[in-house]
Amino acid sequence: MNQVSFAWLRMTCCVVLFGGIMACESSKPADDNKKAVVADTAKFYPINQFIADEMRYVDLRNFLIQENLVTNKDTVSRNISKDEFLAAANELLQQANWFMAHKDLFTESIFQDLGTDSYTINYTSTNANIKHIDLLLNQQTNLPKRLFIRYSSKAGDTTITQQYSWIANQQFGIGRSLKTNTGYAANSNKTILWKKQD
């Protein structure tokens, strides 16, 4: 065997040996911390990312944005700017961010609805002001269709309940109700929707 053939054989053996070592290294299981992160992020749907994506989608397009505000029996409708839209939507985003940072306070359950080709992920808590979150996902795409968040708190003798809703690519809503021990009640419901300009 001449020197060129011997050198080629030696280099080929080194490449095969190095490749085998790398294959063994890459087949090692991930450490426990990586497994915990995967398990943690896989369990809860990132609803804050869903809202942020929807906000960005509207912000980057030339939609006509309308606000309908119902307070007790009065209704006011008006067109609003993108800045007003983003400010109102940010209230939902803050609730979603708080939920994602405190997932340990919530339990998760999943319900499948064959009639609507969707399933609902439900998060509940008895230890947080956010009491319920319902996320309706398309069964085929796993993309959100609707999101509902129920928030409840007390200030003195007043119970404050806020209902947040979001319908993908269409609208979101913020409903508020105040009730006191003396029977006083006040309600408001704001719906913001967007559509292409005529």
Q: Give the whole-angstrom CA distance, residue 1 versus residue 138.
A: 67
Same-domain pairing of 144 and 87:
yes
Looking at residue 43, what is its pLDDT?
Answer: 64
Residue with tokens 């961010």, as numbered in its chain: 97
Same-domain pairing of 65 and 9:
no
Residue 66 belongs to what domain range?
40-196
Same-domain pairing of 92 and 124:
yes
State the pTM of this model. 0.75
Q: Considering the domain boundaries, does residue 16 fall inside one?
A: yes
Residue with tokens 């913020």, as numbered in its chain: 174
Q: Considering the domain boundaries, does residue 95 fall inside one?
A: yes
Looking at residue 156, what is its pLDDT?
Answer: 86
Looking at residue 40, what is its pLDDT?
Answer: 40
Looking at residue 101, what is its pLDDT?
Answer: 95
Cβ-based neighbours of 121, under 8 Å, separated by 6 or more: 45, 108, 109, 110, 134, 135, 137
Per-position DSSP letters for 123-164, written without gaps between them: EE-SSSSEEEEEEEEETTT--EEEEEEEEEEEETTEEEEEEE
The β-bridge partners of 75 are 70
Taking CA 161 as the corner, what is the angle to CA 170 and CA 76, rounded to the nearest 5 degrees?
50
Average pLDDT across each block of 10 residues of the chain; the chain has 198 residues. List them in order.
40 39 40 36 80 96 95 91 97 96 94 85 94 94 94 90 96 95 90 87
Looking at residue 25, what is its pLDDT?
Answer: 41
Q: Give the whole-angstrom CA distance, residue 120 versus residue 148.
A: 11
Total domains in the chain come to 2
Same-domain pairing of 107 and 183:
yes
3-state helix, strand, coil in the chain (%, to 5): 40, 40, 20
Looking at residue 115, what is its pLDDT?
Answer: 78
Residue positions counted in the chain? 198
Q: Comparing C-alpha atoms, which of 82, 59, 75, 62 is closest to residue 191?
A: 75
